[in-house]
Structure 1
Amino acid sequence: MSHTLHLLWFVPSPVAVVAAALKLTASVTLKAERNPSSDAQFEALVTGQADAVVTAIDNVMDWNLRQGPRDFRVIAQLERTTPLTLVGQKGRAWLQDLRGATILVDAPRNGFIVALRAMLAEEGLGPDAYALEPVGGVQERYDAMRAGRGDATLLGPPFDAMAIEAGLSRIATVQERYPAFPGQGLVVSAGALERLRPALSAWLRGLESARERMGSDPESARQALTLAGFSASAVDAMLRATPASLCPDRAGIELLIEQRRSSSLPGADTTYEKLVEASTLPKG
């Protein structure tokens, strides 16, 4: 039986690229589009324009506070971690250099910015020490930095390497400070889960096969990612981010909850059990 799945993501998930290239998800027609922001993902889920999104897991904590179904769940983790590099304009080389800076973000109170808020707080830079300017997703932030707008931002592959090659400064990485930081999750509304279960289960079976192949035969995975247009450095980062399991990592999610709590952001009273719904994952 063939299934169709409407999906939004910022960049294609490596396991999804490998699964498609190796024809491991042939039973699912994936209609995936790049989205400009996490707010666009939220709206698409609420209106039914998207069945699921691949996004920063922290977003779910904020989305479940907004007007809407408030039943968003993480049903899979598609990366071990999302490699995130804090890049700055020339002259911004250290975290302390961000005092008084304008930091470009997707959204000011959810997503990857929560990890950066926590990192800056540990350096003595509270929320009054810098300004956050929403400009959109990773492509939009990269383009804005290249155009000289803003002083710093967080970027993931391949945009982090591209930014440094273009002359921007590498300030720090989230992974250096928080090794347990989790990668992006596959998120759906619990109210739509039963309708979507056949398509999601079929697609996740293919992703699990791709995940296993990325571990056992990394060269075929490297070729698939290279043919998809990713640079050698981005491919290396993607392969390193292959998850040990598609099951959302408890330690990683609990880190996100603690970062939200330490940043005094709402939504930190949630738990792993409230955020995760793993019933569509392949068994065994």
Structure 2
Amino acid sequence: MSNNTLRVTWFVPPAIAVAASWKEPPGFHLESSRTQSSDEQYQLLCDGVVDAAVTSIDNVLHWNQRQGPEDFVVVAQMETTTPLHLIGSSTLSAPADLVGANILVDAPQNGFVIALRALLQQAGLGTGDYRLTPVGGVRERFSALIEGQGDATLLGPPFDTMAVQRGLKHIATIQDVFAGFPGQGLVVRRSVSHGNEALKTWIRMLQASLATVPGDTEKLKMALDSLDLPSEAVTALVNTFPSTLIPSRDGIELLIGQRALLGLSGANVTYEQIVDCSFLQSFRRPI
């Protein structure tokens, strides 16, 4: 594999990656693949099949507790937040109604499900009051919910709107309960990434796009439209375009606090332990 090729896995192409592609330097190649689950992302990173993953930052808190490399870090935050809506059967009206429900998730112990579990706990539901069934990423969860394989799940645009259009019901929004909920991060393995020149090039491209997009929002919308994304998804991706790549300290501490609330491993981790801003700092120009 060429030193100028970067292999990245994600659920949906982040808007900042689309904008960064407009000024791709000669010889650089981004090899992207859509993942079906965070567990798949974990294994691909462990096996060295990919160099980086765009994923829930909470995954890092859990992945470093698994028996494995334990060297996962967030090197950039790819969006301000990830819009997440709890969608379920038309008979459900509030989180407290999910007693006895079968909730479809990506993974039961990491990712966006932790925010959902924290939301349900605040509504008075313990872990024994509902069942978590792993079915995969957002596309897979949407399909499984429509097919009646579960009672509720977390969905983002456009799948939340599409589900409601099919007779399902909006129950709650994560951001209404956790206002500082952070967007997805760019996750790598610390031990093998600092010599990755393609990764450094891509982060430099992402950094440069922060100055480009405020004046090119319409171009970004057109580029996202060309990916055959529904209008709701395009709007959400544009609205959550970051103003900085520095991972939010408040956001990550919120995730750590959710794990503490639920008594889960990873609650004793600090921001400094899972965030590596050295890639970003190397690109800062002196004032």
Which TM-score band applies after superposition, normalised by the shorter structure?
Answer: over 0.9
CA deviation vs aligned residue, 1:193-221 (integer Å, no higher than 9, x gap): 1231x211211121122233232321111
Q: Secondary structure at the match of 1:68?
A: coil
Counterparts of 2:96 and 2:176, CA distance in 1: 16
Structure 1: state its 5+ residue gaps. none
- Judge conservation of contact 2:51–2:193 (CA < 8 Å) in 1: no
Deviation at 1:24, TM superposition (A): 4.1
Q: Secondary structure at the match of 1:239?
A: helix
Q: Cα distance 1:92–1:26, how it changes in 2: closer, same or farther (>3 A)?
A: farther
- Judge conservation of contact 2:88–2:169 (CA < 8 Å) in 1: yes
Counterpart residue type for residue 19 of structure 1: A
Counterparts of 2:157 and 2:28, CA distance in 1: 26
Alignment of 1:219-238 (within 5 A): 219-238=218-237
Q: Which moved more, 1:264-273 or 1:216-225?
A: 216-225
Deviation at 1:58, TM superposition (A): 0.3
- Counterpart of 1:7 in structure 2 is 8
- Counterpart of 1:66 in structure 2 is 66
- Counterpart of 2:248 in structure 1 is 249
Q: Does 1:192 align with 2:192?
A: yes
Deviation at 1:14, TM superposition (A): 1.2
CA deviation vs aligned residue, 1:226-283 (integer Å, no higher than 9, x gap): 1121122211111111112001010000000000110111111000000100111232
- Counterpart of 2:54 in structure 1 is 54
- Counterpart of 2:278 in structure 1 is 279
Counterparts of 2:139 and 2:269, CA distance in 1: 30
- Judge conservation of contact 1:90–1:168 (CA < 8 Å) in 2: yes
Deviation at 1:94, TM superposition (A): 1.4
Q: Secondary structure at the match of 1:75?
A: strand
Instruction: Calculate the aligned-residue CA RMSD, in Å.
Output: 1.5
Structure 2: state its 5+ residue gaps. none
- Judge conservation of contact 1:2–1:27 (CA < 8 Å) in 2: no
Q: Does 1:158 align with 2:158?
A: yes
TM-score between both structures, scaled by the size of structure 2: 0.94
Counterpart residue type for residue 14 of structure 1: A
Deviation at 1:26, TM superposition (A): 5.4
Counterparts of 2:161 and 2:27, CA distance in 1: 35
Q: Does 1:201 align with 2:185?
A: no
- Counterpart of 2:209 in structure 1 is 210
- Counterpart of 1:267 in structure 2 is 266
Counterparts of 2:165 and 2:27, CA distance in 1: 40
Aligned residues: 282
- Judge conservation of contact 1:2–1:29 (CA < 8 Å) in 2: no
- Counterpart of 2:18 in structure 1 is 17
Q: Cα distance 1:210–1:228, how it changes in 2: closer, same or farther (>3 A)?
A: farther
- Counterpart of 1:123 in structure 2 is 123
- Judge conservation of contact 1:89–1:151 (CA < 8 Å) in 2: yes
